[in-house]
A and B are shown apart, each in its own frame.
Chain A
């Protein structure tokens, strides 16, 4: 039963990883940009949530009302002023600018909030649990977070394939120059994609803050988990990314069950195995 419990916890954790991955995947899909600061932005969102909760006394989950727009605005500005000037020239410039942003965020947070690890308390919800089958315990909060993660991915998928903005995203992704001839302002579309990505990052950051301790240096690990979920699931497929997140979560849970030192390592090993066996991921997009 320990094993089944561990696997179920792994699946629930996978939802969070898929959320880390969704924003990363969206940006790569629209502008072929890999945002190295993605993990640090998740941690930034966690700190913004911390400040909002401390200042207003809102429940952490409700703080999203403020954290999401703040992060989306940061995303829009960051893309407009720092990343747009480098897009399209080569691969190197945008990658290195996001690397610089990552270093600035880590050290900026270190100055502002010290290296102490922090956590957001979700109150009584945190310990609530139920037992659907004897021996299997499900936490209410992890389950709620999993459901919300799936919901966010569903919404993103809807935006991408069934809205005017999504059509502009796809057109820009297919051929940026032709899209511009069709009166699509590429700079604005890129900035909107980054805003949407950081909106998702905001929710991921709040969930992270409730689920585990975080400190200014926790970003890179979140980036790596998100990235692994994207590659395991297959590029350009949001539902694949969810599956990739779950595979990663389960692998880590099984690793942890073997020995605590193996938790993260097991995830990395599964990632390399998938890369060796099926380089396009487990659920490659049909094209």
Chain B
């Protein structure tokens, strides 16, 4: 009996082509649509990236964090510190901040990994609180009331406003695309195989030589670095930072969890669909204010109870299609 291992499917090839066309439109978007939409798209890119990264941790690694705002806020503050104190170009400061975030994640992860299972979630939150309270003490960055990015730094990106906004928009697009590609590449690599093994049986995988702690730590540190870069981007777009905004659990964790849960945890497609649903809901229900959050909370519970694999889980179960080629399938000829 002959067989072959298949990775790319017709659906995934089609997806790649559609994604490339969509990307071309997104690159050209500053000339196709207005300023308000460009800002909205920039915000969507950051949420898409944050949700994909959270999903990599929770959905593939079993590390449920409610403290990712620690790295978002840290990224924002590092961008401000590097640009104001060391005169970095803001766009260059983003990768440097990411590196610092990854370095910070090593000792933090070592401590937090000592907390078993769900207690890791709250431990990560405590760490975010430590950073929020600490940055509130740094008076040279505005203390508790926060700081704005000085005009000289902002005009350093590009002298006229139009090009500045386009450059920042492209940075966001590049970051979101990079995060998606890194997540896909990581899941297709040996590390991704180790993660799948650990998810199915930790004991069996360890007996085959997979180091559970090191595998999870590698993912945790990579996610932290990338989350920090997204954080830098978010506050480059906002141009203003304060401890409460930077380390907000609602903005950078609650929304992100909704996106991943509603779209589908443990899939690449989930966070993309989740981001679109989240922004559609936000743009239509935003006038409701507090009620909107109430609806989101109820929706998330409903999804967890009735369709734990989210919207994309429902679609892919029915149609058996997978748009992103991260798994191998055996086909018998």
Residues of chain A touching chain B, judged by Cβ–Cβ distance below 8 Å, are 28, 32-34, 36, 82, 85-86, 89, 91-93, 95-97, 99-104, 106-108, 110-111, 220, 223-224, 227-228, 231, 261, 264-265, 268-269, 271-272, 275-276, 279
**Assuming the A-B contacts A261-B133, A264-B133, are A220 and B115 also in contact, with contact meaning beta carbons closer than 8 angstroms in the complex?**
no
Nearest CB on A from B193, distance (A): 20
Whether A95 and B111, one on each chain, are in contact in the complex, defined by CB atoms closer than 8 angstroms, is: no
Task: Please name 10 pairs of A and B residues whose Cβ atoms are closer than 8 Å in the assembled complex, sorted by A.
Answer: A92-B62, A93-B304, A100-B300, A103-B293, A107-B290, A111-B291, A111-B294, A261-B136, A264-B133, A272-B111
Q: Could you say which residues of chain B place their CB within 8 Å of the CB of A86?
A: 304-305, 308
The CA-CA distance from A86 to B306 in the complex, in Å, is 10
Output the least CB separation between B252 and chain A (Å). 14
B305 and A82 within 8 A (CB): yes
Binding site for A on B (CB under 8 A): 58-59, 62, 64, 66, 111, 114-115, 117-119, 121-123, 125-127, 129-130, 133-134, 136-137, 249, 254, 257, 261, 265, 290-291, 293-294, 296-298, 300-301, 304-305, 308
Q: With A95-B121, A103-B296, A108-B294 as known contacts, state yes or no: A228 contacts B254, CB within 8 Å.
A: no
- Closest Cβ neighbor of B299 among chain A residues: A100
Q: Is the CB of A271 within 8 A of B126?
A: yes
Q: How far is the CA of A34 from the CA of B64 in the complex (A)?
A: 12
Chain B residues within an 8 Å CB radius of A264: 129, 133
Supply 4 further A-B pairs (C-beta < 8 A) apart from A97-B305, A227-B119, A265-B130. Answer: A91-B64, A91-B117, A104-B301, A275-B123
In the bound assembly, the distance between CA atoms of A187 and B97 in angstroms comes to: 48
With A100-B300, A224-B126, A261-B133 already in contact, the answer to whether A275 and B115 are too (CB < 8 A) is yes
Measured in the bound complex, the distance between the Cα atoms of B308 and A272 in whole Å is: 34
B122 touches A34 (CB 8 A): yes
Q: Taking the nearest CB of chain A, how far is it from the CB of B44, in angstroms?
A: 21
Instruction: Name the A residues within 8 Å of B249 (CB-CB).
Output: 220
Bound-state Cα–Cα, A256 to B243, Å: 20
Closest CB-CB distance, B122 to chain A, in whole Å? Answer: 5
Least CB distance from B128 to A in Å reads 10
Given contacts A99-B66, A269-B130, contact A32 B115 (CB under 8 A): no
Residues of A within 8 A of B121 (CB): 34, 36, 95
Chain B positions within 8 Å of A276 at CB level:
111
Asked whether B118 lies within 8 Å of A91 as measured between CB atoms, the reply is yes
| Residues of chain A within 8 A of B301, CB atoms compared | 82, 97, 100-101, 104
On chain A, the residues within 8 Å of B66 by CB distance are 36, 99
How far apart sit A224 and B62, CA to CA, in the bound complex (Å)?
21
A107-B297 in contact (CB<8A)? yes
> How long is the Cα–Cα vector from A147 to B1 in the complex, in angstroms?
76
A272 near B130: Cβ-Cβ < 8 Å: yes
Which residues of A have CB within 8 Å of B294?
A: 103-104, 107-108, 111
A96/B133 contact (C-beta < 8 A), A107-B293, A107-B294 known: no
Q: Which residues of A contact B298 (CB under 8 A)?
A: 100, 104
B125 to chain A, nearest CB (A): 7
Q: Report the Cα distance A82→B302, complex, angstroms.
A: 9
Q: Which residues on B sit within 8 Å (CB–CB) of A92?
A: 58-59, 62, 64, 265
Chain B: CB-nearest residue to A266? B133
Nearest chain-B residue to A90 (Cβ)? Answer: B62
User: B114 is contacted by which of A34, A108, A275 (Cβ under 8 Å)?
Assistant: A275
Are A268 and B305 in touch, CB under 8 angstroms? no
Chain A residues near B290 (CB-CB < 8 A): 107, 110-111
State how many angstroms separate the Cβ of B171 from the closest Cβ of chain A: 31
